[in-house]
Amino acid sequence: MLNQTHAPELTSWVTSANTTDTDFPIQNLPFAAFRRSGTNEAFRGGVAIGDQILDLAAAAKSGVYTDLAQQALEACSGEDLNPFMDMGKQAWSSLRLALSETLREGATAQTALQSCLVAQADAEYKLPCQIRDYTDFYTSVHHATAVGKLFRPDNPLLPNYKWVPIGYHGRASSIDVSGQNFRRPCGQTKAPDATEPSFGPCKRLDYEVEMGIYVGNGNELGEPISIENAEDHVFGMCLFNDWSARDIQAWEYQPLGPFLAKNFASTVSPWIVTTEALAPFRAAFERDAADPQPMEYLTSDANSANGQFDISLDCLIKTEGSAEENHLSTSNFKYSYWTVAQMVTHHTINGCNLQSGDLLGSGTQSGPEHEEAGSLLELTRGGKEAITLANGETRTFVQDGDTIIMRGFCQRDGARRIGFGEVASTVLPAKS
């Protein structure tokens, strides 16, 4: 549902928000937890505007805001955004409108708010909220098919895929914000021709290009969230790199799924782009005529036509000692076989309770073409075909010192382009 906060002609008195290439025009207004770099300041909520951050704790004390927007700002003043996220859609929307009105060109609040700005160049971030439970879905049919082909050439896609939004539980504790540098994991692996497993550093370390979906307000145990109401529980989205150790995964994952192959590190972008900001970027998804229709609990008139989001996803690699960013792939979240609403409803249909700050991973977002794959596993066809980077180096999997960078944005005629910023994370050598 579009409203005046989406109007493409809106500009801000923060003039850096008015450039054509900014991720953070006044139509975006994403949330993060930040402080000034290198200080012991408390982290607090912030909203990106151009190359600045509006300090929400300072804004709460500015006297500019009233009523629900003021209450929302107070809930954003602590180090975690969970209290604000838990307030629900009306509060999110009220604060967005109030921020849009007061950051707009000509707003009388400019004088009072000028001192609430912190330059993004001077800021550092932490996780925007306490992540409670983390669930990873598997919504790209292209990824599922490509990976399935590597393991089961004759039967790449399992019979449940087009009926069940496949998901599994992940590890919340090892999720950190962009800038996470982590050691290459060690673990058990077994070479196909070996009789016994061996132990050592992962040899097939990979990234996964995903969207992260933050639950705002949850549901009570035993009370599923209907498909009609599902998106009302979604606060917003971020970029998400779900690091994966493919050789550890291959040996450990039967019969109960990935475990140590996934829980050593996962990295989110600092900014949460709200569901409301994404409203202009809906995309239709057409199922193949031969595909089953989603079951009734996953079907809604509102959702079926306009359930996806058109979010372009770029993945790049920077190798050690080089400043150059080398393109790996471009994909799009619109290819997701299941919508955000379907993920939420499916997750709760058995009565499972979601909570404020839960993170849902979309699963690797690979597009229909080989070069749109969201992991090296796919791009190198299981490590069999090395890819050559723009700087001349080759890769089958991620090497020590490599930094993987993901960026995302939404763009369409009649709307102002908005972006997600970036998530970047570097692999350090294994612990000796």
Give 8 or 200: the residue with its C-beta nearer to its own copies: 200
Give 243 or 271: the residue with its C-beta nearer to its own copies: 243
Which residue type sits at 31? F
Binding segment (CB under 8 A) for its own copies, from list 91-99, 351-359, 378-386, 404-412 = 351-359
| 3-class secondary structure, 343 | helix
How many residues line the site for its own copies (CB under 8 A)? 66
Which residue type sits at 194? A
Of the residues 97, 112, 150, 164, which one makes contact with its own copies according to CB under 8 A: 164
DSSP code, position 217 = S
- Two tokens, residue 318: 């920077």
Q: Measure the N-to-C terminal CA separation of the chain; round to a whole number of Å.
A: 54
Is 143 annotated in the active site? yes
For residues 98 to 137, the per-residue mask of contacts with its own copies, x marking binding by CB under 8 A and - elsewhere, is ----------------------------------xx-xx-
Binding segment (CB under 8 A) for its own copies, from list 41-49, 59-67, 248-256, 309-317 = 248-256
122 burial type by CB count under 10 A (0-12 exposed, 13-18 middle, 19+ buried):
middle
Residues 6+ apart with CB under 8 A from 289: none
Q: How far is the CB of 322 from its own copies (least distance, A)?
A: 25
Q: Does 158 help bind its own copies (rule: CB under 8 A)?
A: yes
Q: How far is the CB of 314 from its own copies (least distance, A)?
A: 26
Residues 6+ apart with CB under 8 A from 413: none
For residues 134 to 153, the per-residue mask of contacts with its own copies, x marking binding by CB under 8 A and - elsewhere, is -xx-x---------x-----
**What are the two backbone dihedrals, phi and then psi, of residue 404, each rounded to the nearest 5 degrees?**
-100, 130
Give 188 or 306: the residue with its C-beta nearer to its own copies: 188
Give 202 or 230: the residue with its C-beta nearer to its own copies: 202
- Two tokens, residue 422: 């970036």
**Residue pair 33/129 in contact by the 8 Å Cβ criterion:** yes
Q: Residue 136: which of 172, 177, 167, 175 has the closest Cα? A: 167
Q: How far is CA 146 from the centre of its chain?
A: 22
| 3-class secondary structure, 426 | strand
Q: Does 216 help bind its own copies (rule: CB under 8 A)?
A: no
Q: For residues 266 and 272, what is the distance between their CA atoms, to the nearest angstrom?
A: 16
Q: Does 354 help bind its own copies (rule: CB under 8 A)?
A: yes
Give 295 or 305: the residue with its C-beta nearer to its own copies: 295
Binding segment (CB under 8 A) for its own copies, from list 15-23, 34-42, 162-170, 390-398 = 162-170
Residues 6+ apart with CB under 8 A from 131: 172, 175, 357, 358, 359
Q: For residues 186 and 203, what is the distance between their CA atoms, to the nearest angstrom?
A: 9
Binding segment (CB under 8 A) for its own copies, from list 19-27, 174-182, 267-275, 382-390 = 174-182
Catalytic residue among 142, 143, 233, 347: 143
Name the residues that contact its own copies, by CB under 8 A: 132-133, 135-136, 138, 148, 158, 160, 163-164, 166-174, 176, 182-183, 185-188, 190, 196-197, 199, 202, 218, 221-224, 245, 248, 251-260, 263-265, 292, 295-297, 346-347, 349-355, 358, 431
